[in-house]
A and B are shown apart, each in its own frame.
Chain A
Amino acid sequence: MTARIQVPASARRGEVIEIRIAIQHPMETGFRLDDSGRAAPKNVVNALVCRYNGVEVFRAEMGSGVAANPFLSFFTVAEASGELVFDWVDDQGQTGSERAALTVKG
């Protein structure tokens, strides 16, 4: 699963930064019928965690009500230079991971 994340490359210490993530995923609801008329099994990205230098700063539980190619935007305080790690998993157990480096000045 590919994803696009937007994290500022650098920030001042204490600055509130916006983080955006968009994951490429169909977010299959389980209500949609495929070409042969059978219901396509539900398969959504149900959990996403963002850790900042190992500390969890954001967690999302999602259901079929989240649009395909889920997009999320949230905020965090830039405290120290380091790495933001994003981990997610879908109903079929497929996992995805993405990381971004952040430099904190001052």
Chain B
Amino acid sequence: MKKTSRRRFFAGLMAIAAWPTVRAYGQASTESVDAMVLTVTGGAKVQTGRVKLELPPFADNGNSVSLKVNVESAMTANDYVKSIHLYAARNPRPNVANFYLGPRAGRAQISTRVRLGGSQRVLALAALSDGSFWSATADVVVTLSACYDAT
């Protein structure tokens, strides 16, 4: 058997040590977003479109990022948006907010300011009165993350 050099051995050790962290950072909370979406939809198909999610492409400060969601809907008594859900996968608590509307809203549009714990893809999910679900994503690069600094 070929003798493993000390350099190679340590390189291997580092790779093993880094593996779970890399996975946890990139995937763990994305999976939980899928689970959260599933509790809202109950397994119904989520279609892309009809929802417009506006976020700045670059955010200097993740502590306050302006966000706007608009859902294409007639907003009449029998065709309206029931709820809008926001998810940020890299936040320690990915479910940022849920908004419940009704036909009395007139327009399915919400604006707010969110915290983002790093550059990521934010998901907006809308539940319509006809039982369909629509979604949109927006990528945002965050220079200074919220949540992780101890200031």
- A residues near B (Cβ < 8 Å) are 16-17, 29, 31-33, 52, 55-68, 70-77, 79
- B residues near A (Cβ < 8 Å) are 63-65, 86, 88, 91-102, 104-116, 146-148, 150-151
Docked-complex contact A32 and B97, CB < 8 angstroms: no
Complex Cα distance, B102 from A52, in Å, reads 12
Docked-complex contact B97 and A61, CB < 8 angstroms: yes
Docked-complex contact B104 and A60, CB < 8 angstroms: no
B102, B112, B146 pick with most chain A CB within 10 angstroms = B112
Docked-complex contact A66 and B101, CB < 8 angstroms: no
Q: Which B residues are CB-close (under 8 A) to A76? A: 104-106
Docked-complex contact B110 and A65, CB < 8 angstroms: no
Docked-complex contact A58 and B101, CB < 8 angstroms: yes
Residue from B99, B101, B102, B115 in contact with A64 in the complex, judged by beta carbons closer than 8 Å: B115
Report the minimal beta-carbon distance from B129 to chain A, rounded to whole angstroms.
Answer: 15
Can you give 18 A-B contacts (C-beta < 8 A)? A16-B107, A17-B106, A29-B92, A29-B147, A57-B104, A58-B101, A59-B100, A61-B98, A64-B92, A64-B115, A67-B65, A67-B114, A67-B115, A71-B112, A74-B99, A74-B110, A75-B105, A77-B106
Complex Cα distance, B108 from A57, in Å, reads 12
